[in-house]
Structure formats: C-alpha cells, structure tokens
Structure 1
Amino acid sequence: MSDFHEGSCLCGSVAYEVAGSFKAFYLCHCSRCQKDSGSAHAANLFAPGARLTWIKGAEGVTTYRHEGTLHTRSFCQSCGSAMPVEMSEINALVVPAGSLNTKVPIAATARIYMADAAHWVSAIQATPEFPALP
C-alpha cells in the first residue's frame, strides 16, 4: 500500500498530504458519528505515526472535541467537509476516507459500535461487526 496520500475538502479551499500507511479502516456506527456525518456511519482511516501536511487552507479548518470522549472531528469552515485530525490520545492520524483524492488503499477493517447502528441500516455481509471498538 502507498505511503503517500492526498486529499481535500468539497469546495477545494483546504488540501492536505499524508505521509504514512493506513493500518485500519473503521466504519463507525456510534451515535456521535451518525450525528457528525449525517449518515449511518463515519468512514475513517487510522495511520499511526503518519505525518499530516496542510497544502492550503489550514486556517480554514476547525476541530471539535466532544467533551469527555475521544470523539474528535476536524472540518472545513467553508463547506463542512470532514478533514484529518491528529489524535495524540491514540497516537494516530485519523483521515476521513471520503476526503482522500487518492484511492483508499485498504479494505474496511470492521464496522464498529453496531449496538448503536441506526435502525435503517442494512447489514454489509463482507465486513466484520463488533458491538464496540475492538
């Protein structure tokens, strides 16, 4: 898998590069990820020890940390697109898969927090399920 990835927001005002390998790709169905994605789940790549470089628009990125939890989300102030966030608590860069301009290099690792999944979600047969973070 490639050690270099590029990404951007929907409006193009923010762009970034990632140097490092993705080790996990979680589809998180927790209630917080449903709220901040507006969808059934978030789709995040985890890259321990990876380096994030903002190519443009770093000043237009806001980070929200949900008090008392590890839930953290960075986003473009102009269009709201999810952006990468450095999570020192878990020593990893978390990259929203949909923000990549390059191909996502790994298959989904697992669907997590299935105990909180929206009632309207149908099962994805080929992906393991866990009741919480494995």
Structure 2
Amino acid sequence: MNKYYQGSCLCGEIKLEITGNLEQFFLCHCQHCQKDTGSAYAANLFSTTASLHILSGNDNIQTFKLTNSRHSKSFCSRCGSAMPHYQMDGKLLVVPAGCLDTPIDIMPNAHIFTDSKANWEHHLNNIPSLGGLPT
C-alpha cells in the first residue's frame, strides 16, 4: 500500500505531496551536509518509487549542485528551507525529513559518514536536554 505525505517550507510558499513508500532514512554527517544544513548532520529519506508533486511555490524552488560531487540540495529561495529533489537522473527521490508535515513511521537506518562528524558532536548525549527555551 502506497503512503501519502504532505510537506512545506518554513515560509509556507512551497507546499508538496509525496505518494509512495520512503524506503531508506539516513543521518548523514559528511562535511557537505554539515555545510548545507548548518548543523551536525542532514536527515534525509530516500525512495526509488515514490512520486513528488509540488502543489504550490514551484517557482521558489532552487537547486544547488556541488561541482565534482554527487551532492545537491533543493531549497526555498524565500526562506531557505530544504526541499525534496530528484537525483541520479530522476531515479532517486531525496526528501529532507524536516520538510514533512505528515508524521513518518520509518526510523533512521543508519548514521553515515561518521568519520566526518563535527568534533563537538561526539558527546552530545552528555549535555542537558531542555523542553523549550532556557530560562
């Protein structure tokens, strides 16, 4: 049975739907993903069978492809939110997990490129967790 997901960007200009199964979920710690997320890793879902339909804001989607690599990123040109895009000549749909508004039922398969982890990431389990802003 095919699944159905809805998503959007932070400013709400881009709205999308994905129909089909999200097959893989990886947390990538490579330096390219660190740079384009501004964080420790990128959380991306992957599918070779799902289809992406942009409901609104298609003109706001920009794609950056890093020269001499397989790395690319689509994003909202207004707010910068990461957006789904196709790679490998349209054979692979890459979906940033944070763009989905619909809950997902797949857990990450693995952390990848962990040899490139940011040095400050190694002991994150040892710091306090707060449910909101610090007081």
TM-score (structure 2 length as normaliser): 0.87
Identity %: 42
Q: In the TM superposition, what is the alpha-carbon distance from 1:35 to its structure 2 partner?
A: 0.2
Match in the other structure for 1:58: 58
Please tell me whether the aligned partners of residues 2 and 19 of structure 2 are also in contact (alpha carbons under 8 angstroms): no
Alignment of 1:86-125 (within 5 A): 86-89=86-89, 91-122=91-122
Please tell me whether the aligned partners of residues 2 and 105 of structure 1 are also in contact (alpha carbons under 8 angstroms): no
Are the structure 2 counterparts of residues 124 and 90 from structure 1 closer, same or farther at C-alpha, using a change threshold of 3 Å? farther
* Counterparts of 1:30 and 1:60, CA distance in 2: 27
Count of equivalent residues:
125
TM-score (structure 1 length as normaliser): 0.87
Q: Which of the pair has more CA radius of gyration?
A: 2
1:75 aligns with 2:81: no
Unpaired runs of at least 5, structure 2? 126-135
Please tell me whether the aligned partners of residues 10 and 81 of structure 2 are also in contact (alpha carbons under 8 angstroms): yes
Q: In the TM superposition, what is the alpha-carbon distance from 1:90 to its structure 2 partner?
A: 7.6
Match in the other structure for 1:30: 30
Are the structure 2 counterparts of residues 22 and 52 from structure 1 closer, same or farther at C-alpha, using a change threshold of 3 Å? same
Match in the other structure for 1:16: 16
Are the structure 2 counterparts of residues 29 and 56 from structure 1 closer, same or farther at C-alpha, using a change threshold of 3 Å? same
Unpaired runs of at least 5, structure 1? 126-134
Q: In the TM superposition, what is the alpha-carbon distance from 1:124 to its structure 2 partner?
A: 8.2
Q: In the TM superposition, what is the alpha-carbon distance from 1:89 to its structure 2 partner?
A: 4.5
